[in-house]
Structure 1
Amino acid sequence: MFAAAQTGTAPTKLSLTAPTAAARTFEPLDMALTTDGTFANPYDPAQAQLDVSFTSPAGKTMTVPAFWYQDFDRATLKPKGTAGWRVRFTPTSVGKWTASAAFTKPGLKSAPLTFNVAASDSPGFVRIDKQNPRYFAHDNGKTQQFYFPIGLNLGWASEQPGTIGSTLDSYERWLTQLSKNGGTIARVWMADWGFGVEGKDTGLGNYGGRQLQAWMLEQMFEMARERGVNIELVLLYHGAFSTTVNPEWASNPYNAANGGPLKLPGDFVTNPQARDLFKRRLRYIAARYAAQPNLFAWEWWNEVNWTPISDGDLKPWIKEMTGVLKSYDPYNHLISSSYAYGGTSDLWKLPEIDFSQQHDYAGRDPLVWGRRDIESFIETAPNKPVLLAEVGYSANGTGEPLIRDEIHFHNAIWAAPFAGYASSGMYWWWDTFVDPQNQWPQYKGLADFLKGENLGLMTGQDAEVGTPDAAALTLQSKTRALIWLRSSTYDAGEANAAYSKALIAQKAGPDWKYDMPIRYKATVKVDGLSDGAYTAYWYAPQKNVWLSVIPVAVKGGSVTLNAPSFDKDLAVKIVPVGEPRTP
C-alpha cells in the first residue's frame, strides 16, 4: 500500500511558463512547469521536490511547492490533456514579481520569469479581527474589513465522485443558493467518499488515483469564490480513525490490515511513519489549495473525540503539523479543529489554534443556551472567536414535524450572533433538509439585517421584554443597538411537544399545524445607550422585509419600544438620527 520504489530519470531541464491570465492581487494564478525528468511517484518529495519562489516588488520572497496536476473535462469527467507540473500562487501586492523554480535534487533551477500584478477589489484573506480578536476580518495587508460568516455545512455530495456531473452540479446549486441569500461560508470535508485525495484505493503517499477528486475540489473552490463564499476545509474526520462512531477504520489505508503502518487507529498521531506520510499529504493539499483566497481556514479534525486519540497525544501532533502546514502555506490561513457537542479542552489555548468551534445537536433552544455555552469557550480561550460550526435539532437527522426543524434552523441562524458567536449557526443537514426544503431564504434575513454592521464594536445584553411569553437579546454600543425579539412558543422543543401530544390524541394528521399565538402588545426596553434622538427600524425575519420606521428618544440611557404584532420573531435596529440604517 505504499508508494513505488524510486525509479525514473533525473531532470536536466526546467522552465516556468508565464501565467495565461492577467495577474491581480488576491486572485490565484496558475503556471505550468516543464521538465525532462520522469518520476515513478511525483507526489513523493523524496523523488521530486519541486518548489517555486516568488519575489515581490518589495523584495520579499514566498516559496510554495509545485504539484502534479491532471486536468479533466467537466462534461465527461474524463482526463483532458496530459498530466504535468503546475504551481498555484496568489500575489498580495501590485507591481513586478519574479518567479523561479527549483528541484531540490539534483539542484536544478529554472530561469527567472517576471510578471506584472495589477490591483483587484478583493478584500484579501480572512484573519482575526485586530479591533476585536473574538471576530474575523478580511485583510488585504493594508486595511481590515469586518467579516461575519453566514452559512452552513456542505460536507460532501451524496453522489460518488466520477458520476457524471453529479457532485459539481450539486455544489453549484448549493453555492448559488447560499450566495443568492447572503451566505458567505461553507464547511467542506475531504472525506474518503468525497474530496479526499488519499484512500484505500490509492494506497499511501500516491494520489494519482484521486486526481479527479483533487480537480473537483478545485472546481468547488472556484465556484465558491465566484459567488463570494469562503470555505472551511476539514482535513481529517473522526470515522476514518474510529471503530465505534461512524467506523471506517477497517477501510483506512493506514490500517495494518490494509498494508498500512498502524495496528491501532490512535497511533496515527504518534507513529513516525504515519506522521511522515501525512506530512506528504499536507504538502500536496497546501500546494493545490492554499493559494485559494476564499480558503477561510484549515480544520485539522472533525470531532476528534470520537477517535481513540487523547488530547495528550493530539496537542504535540497539532503543534508539529501546524509547523509543517505553515511552511507550505505562505498565506498563513487560519487553523482550527473540532469536537462533538462543544468541547472546552485546553486545545483551544494552543497558539496553533486560531479559533474555537462548537457542535450542538441537543435539541435545545439556541436563544437560551447560546450565551451560556459560549462562556465556557471564552473562559478557556478568551481572545479567540468561537464558530458555531455544526448545529442541528438532532444528530439523527430531520423528521416529523417539519416545523420543528424549520424553527430550530431559523433560531440557530439568528441566535448565534446575539449570543456572541463569530458566525451564524452553521446547520448540518444541507442535502436532506436545507436544500430539498428550500430553506435557503432563511439566510437572507440575517444577512440583510447585519449588512454593514461591525459586531466587534458591540457587546451582548439581555433586553427587558414587557411580556412573559417573549424574550429578546441585543448587541449594542453606546450609540447603536441591534435587537432580536422572539416569542416563547417559536421554539423547536415546544413544537415537538405539541406534535407529540397530537400523536397521542391521534390528531397529528397531514393537516396538523403548530399554533403560535400572536403577541399584540410586546414592549422591549433597552438600556446603556447615550441620550439623544434615534430612529427604530423594525424588521420581519420571516419575510425578510423592513417594516415600520419609528422615531424614539433615549433618556437616562434607556428607551422602551412598542413592538409590532408578531407570532414568531422580529428584529429592530436603533440608530442615531441622521445615521444610515445600513452603515
Structure 2
Amino acid sequence: MFALLTVLATSAPGIEWVEPPVKAGVPIVGRLVRTSPPDGSSQLHPTLQLAVKDPKGRSWPVVPFIYQEFRRAADKEGKEALEPVGEPQWRVRFTPLEPGTYAFALERSPQPIAVVRVARGDAGGFLRPNPKNQRWLQDRSGRPFLAVGWNLCWHGARGTRDYDDWLPRLAQAGVNFVRIWSCPWAFSVECNPGTLGRYDQRGLWALERVLSQANRLGIHVMLCLDYHGVLNIEKDYWGSNDLWTQNPYNRANGGPCAEPRDFFTEPAAKKAYQDRLKYLVARFSAFPNLAVWEFWNEIDNDLRWLDAAQVVAWHAEMGSFLRGIDPYGHVVSTSTAWSPWPELWRVPSIGLQQVHSYGQSSPGTAFAKLAQDRFALHRMPLLVGEYGVDFRGPSEEKDPYRRGLRQAVWSTALSGCAGTAMPWWWETLHARNAYGLWSALRTLLEGTGVASAAWGPLTVEFGEESGKLGPASPSAAPQSIRFFPADQWSVDRSETVALAGPASAALASRSFARFLHGSSKADVRHPIRLIAHLAEGAQIAVHVDSVSNGAMLVVKANGKEVLRRELPNKDGAWLVNKEYDETIRAPLPAGDGVLIELENPGEDWVNIEWIEVSGVRPAQTGPEGPPVFSTGIGTADRALAWILDRRYDWPAGATEATASPCRGAKVTIRNLRDGEYAARWFDTKRGTFFASTFARSRGGRMTLPAPEFREDVAVRIERRSRSSGAGGRTNR
C-alpha cells in the first residue's frame, strides 16, 4: 500500500498520480497540475524542475515531459490508427528503489509538493555489467542475467497490437530481452520532417505502451535510438533506406546539417540531439526493464560518407553526456554491421559491445571463438545483436530445420556471451511458431545460476576434423559431400581441406569464401583445394550465383584440367543477385587422395553458392571418435556444455530431413575440480533430459562420452557430494 502524506496548497503546482506509488521497483507516474499546459514550444517543462529525496536523503532529478494520450483504433484493413485523447499534459516518471518515504519538491524549494511512502518490493531491473566479472550482466540487486533475446524492432500494419501477440509468447518461452528501434516507420521520435525538437507523440506513446507491456512480462528492452538509413544518401540492396532526404536534421528540411557527416560535428545538431536524450531520459529512464540505450544500428554502413574518427568522437561525447543525465545508470551501446572497429568499443561510456552476423558458416564455432576474442580485447559483455542465415530474407530454403539458428543460439548461450544470438526475421519466426527453441534453452538453464560472477568459459577438447585424409574405409559406400563456402569477401587459408566424410563439409565451408577472386584482386586471391578418395563415376558440381567484371572457372584434378568455363558479366552489374544461378559439372578421376583445385584466372570474382563432390569414399574414423564441436561454461564444480555433430554444422547437412545418429562422441572438459560428477543429457530439440551418466575429474580433466544423439546435444554437469548414491554409469 502507499500513503499520500502531504496536503498540497491549492495555489502551488502539484502532482496528480496516474500510476500511484505502490512498492519499490515499480514506476510512479504523475501529472502536473496547477501549472501552465504545454503549448508545443518545449518538450520538457521550461521552468519547473523537480527533485525527489529518497529515504537515505539522496536527491534524484525528475524532469516533467510533454505527454499526449492516445486511443488505439483500426481501419477496415486492420491498420492501427492512434487517436488523440484530451489535451497534452506534463508528466513525471520515477522509480523508487527501496521502501520508505519519498518527498517530491520543486528544485531549490524546501517545501515538498508531494510526499509518498512505498512498501518493500523487488527493486531489480536496471541491468549493468557485473563488476566482479564484466563478461556478464546483472540487475541492480545483483542477480545474474543472461539475455535470452529476440529482435522485435518494428511492427507491421497492426501497430502495437503485434506486440500484444509477440511479447506474451516470448515471455512464455523464456525470452527475457528484446531489441526495438526508433525509426521513421515505427516508434518515431525525431526521424521525420517537422519533428526536430518537436517529437512525434504518436511514436512515443506507442513506445511507452510496448515498454510497459514488456515490463509487466519481465522482458528487458534494448532501445535503438537511430538506424543507419537516416544518414544514407544511396539506395541499398533493397533499393531503399536512403532516408537522408527525410531526416529532420537535413538543412533541406529546416535542420542544421548540409550533409550527413555534419550530424556528428555541427554544434546545433549535437545540441538538438542532447535535447532529445534529455527528453528520452525524462520519459523512459525510470523503466526498470529499459536495459540498454543503443545509439545507432550499424553505423558503419554509412562510413563511405562519414569520417570514422568523428563518429567515434561523437559517441564519446554523447555517451558521456547520457551517462551524466541518466539517474539510473543504464548501459550504453551502439552497433556495427561488419567492422570490428576497436576504436569505437574503446569509448569509455560504452558498456556493451555488439556484433551483427548473417550467413556465418559454422556459427557454433565462430561465435564461441568470438566470445573469447572480443572479451579479451574489450573486457565488456558481448551480444550477437542480430543473427540470420541470410541478410536478404528469412531464406527458409537455406535452413529449413532451423539448424543454423539453433546452433547460433545454443553456442552463444554456452560460450561466454552475455546472451543468446538475437534472431532477425521475427515475423516469420512468430508465424512458424518457432518458440520451442527458446523454451528448451530455458529448461536447461533453470536453477543453474548461470551468468553469475563465478561462471566463465571452460576449456573443452573434442574430436575434430584434422584436415588430413586418412585411409579409405573399406566398408563405407561412396557419398556426396556438399558444402557452402563462407559468405565472406575472403578467407585467408592456403592449406588443402580433406573431404574425409560428411563432417568435412563444415570444415570446407568455413575454410573458403564464396568469392573466388580473379587477377584484379591478387591480395585476396586464394584457390580452393580439396583432397578426397574418389570412386568410379565421381564428379564435381559448382553452383555459380553471379560474377563481377568477367571471370573464368577452372577445375583441375591431380593437376589436369577437367573444366574451363568463361563466365562473362551478363547483366553489367556487380551484385550477388543470382545472375547465373547455374550448376556447372565436371567428371573427376577415381583414385585415392585425388587433389581437386578450383581457380579463377579471369579478371574479377565469381560468386559460388555451393560445391558438391560426389563419389567420395569416406576415410576411416580415428580413435578420438566422430568429429564434433563443443563449447561450455561453468564454475569450479558445475558446468553446461553443448556438443554439435560436425556433419550438421550449418550449412552442412542443412537440408537433410532426418539427421543420422552420432555415436561414440566424447569431449574432455578442463577447469573442473577433481571429484565425481553427474551428467544429465539434454535433447535441445525436444527440450527434455533423456539420459544420466557419471564421470570423474582428475587433475582438472574429465572425459565425458556422450550418449547417442542427433545433430546436437547439451549436458548439465554437477559435482556430486560424498553422500550421493552411486548408480548410473561412471566414466573414469
Q: TM-score range by the shorter chain?
A: 0.7 to 0.9
Residues 17-66 of structure 1, C-alpha deviation per residue, up to 9 Å, x if partnerless? 35652332121110110234255424355x72432211011110010211
Q: Is 2:193–2:253's contact at 8 Å kept on the other side of the alignment?
A: no
Residues 118-143 of structure 1, C-alpha deviation per residue, up to 9 Å, x if partnerless? 11124232111122011100113xxx
Residues 473-526 of structure 1, C-alpha deviation per residue, up to 9 Å, x if partnerless? 222333122110111122331145xx5xxxxxxxxxxxxx54422112322332
Q: What are the within-5 Å matches in structure 2 for residues 549-564 of structure 1? A: 549-564=692-707
Q: Is 2:389–2:395's contact at 8 Å kept on the other side of the alignment?
A: no
Report the secondary structure of 1:463's partner residue: strand
Distance in 2 between residues matched to 1:528 and 1:377, nearest whole Å:
21
Distance in 2 between residues matched to 1:488 and 1:158, nearest whole Å:
38
Q: What are the within-5 Å matches in structure 2 for residues 318-467 of structure 1? A: 318-381=315-378, 383-401=379-397, 403-404=399-400, 406-431=402-427, 433-451=428-446, 452-455=448-451, 456=453, 457-465=455-463, 466-467=624-625
1:576 matched to 2:719? The reply is yes
Q: What are the within-5 Å matches in structure 2 for residues 4-403 of structure 1? A: 14-18=13-17, 20-44=19-43, 48-75=46-73, 77-101=82-106, 111-140=112-141, 144-159=142-157, 166-207=158-199, 210-244=200-234, 245=236, 246-307=241-302, 308-381=305-378, 383-401=379-397, 403=399
CA distance change for structure 1 residues 38 and 403 in 2, over 3 Å: closer, same or farther?
closer
Report the alpha carbon displacement of residue 404 of structure 1 after superposing the two structures with TM.
Answer: 4.6
Report the secondary structure of 1:91's partner residue: coil
Moved more, 14-23 or 226-235: 14-23
Partner of 2:636: 478
Distance in 2 between residues matched to 1:574 and 1:116, nearest whole Å:
46
Residues 264-296 of structure 1, C-alpha deviation per residue, up to 9 Å, x if partnerless? 011101111111111221121111111100001
Q: Is 1:392–1:427's contact at 8 Å kept on the other side of the alignment?
A: yes
Name the amino acid aligned to 2:171.
Answer: S
Distance in 2 between residues matched to 1:194 and 1:92, nearest whole Å:
31
TM-score between both structures, scaled by the size of structure 1 = 0.87
Q: Is 1:463–1:474's contact at 8 Å kept on the other side of the alignment?
A: no
Distance in 2 between residues matched to 1:373 and 1:486, nearest whole Å:
17
Name the amino acid aligned to 1:363.
Answer: Q
Name the amino acid aligned to 2:174.
Answer: G
Q: Is 2:100–2:118's contact at 8 Å kept on the other side of the alignment?
A: yes
Distance in 2 between residues matched to 1:195 and 1:121, nearest whole Å:
29
Structure whose alpha-carbon radius of gyration is higher: 2
Give the % identical residues: 28
Residues 279-324 of structure 1, C-alpha deviation per residue, up to 9 Å, x if partnerless? 2211211111111000011001111111233331123322322233
Residues 426-471 of structure 1, C-alpha deviation per residue, up to 9 Å, x if partnerless? 111111x311111111112222212233334232322324423322
CA distance change for structure 1 residues 264 and 580 in 2, over 3 Å: closer, same or farther?
farther
Distance in 2 between residues matched to 1:559 and 1:108, nearest whole Å:
66
Distance in 2 between residues matched to 1:139 and 1:229, nearest whole Å:
15
Report the alpha carbon displacement of residue 355 of structure 1 after superposing the two structures with TM.
Answer: 1.6
Q: Is 1:410–1:442's contact at 8 Å kept on the other side of the alignment?
A: yes
Q: Is 1:531–1:554's contact at 8 Å kept on the other side of the alignment?
A: yes
Report the alpha carbon displacement of residue 256 of structure 1 after superposing the two structures with TM.
Answer: 1.7
Q: Is 2:264–2:310's contact at 8 Å kept on the other side of the alignment?
A: yes
Distance in 2 between residues matched to 1:199 and 1:235, nearest whole Å:
10
Report the secondary structure of 2:165's partner residue: helix
What are the ranges of 5 or more consecutive residues in structure 2 without an aligned counterpart? 1-10, 75-81, 464-623, 725-732
What are the ranges of 5 or more consecutive residues in structure 1 without an aligned counterpart? 1-11, 160-165, 500-512
Partner of 2:649: 491
Partner of 2:581: none
Moved more, 83-92 or 250-259: 250-259
Q: What are the within-5 Å matches in structure 2 for residues 512-551 of structure 1? A: 513-551=656-694
Moved more, 89-98 or 550-559: 550-559
Name the amino acid aligned to 2:61.
Answer: T
CA distance change for structure 1 residues 205 and 449 in 2, over 3 Å: closer, same or farther?
same
Alignment RMSD (CA, Å): 2.4
Report the alpha carbon displacement of residue 332 of structure 1 after superposing the two structures with TM.
Answer: 0.8
Report the alpha carbon displacement of residue 399 of structure 1 after superposing the two structures with TM.
Answer: 2.0
TM-score between both structures, scaled by the size of structure 2 = 0.70
Residues 317-350 of structure 1, C-alpha deviation per residue, up to 9 Å, x if partnerless? 2232223323432001010111112523212112
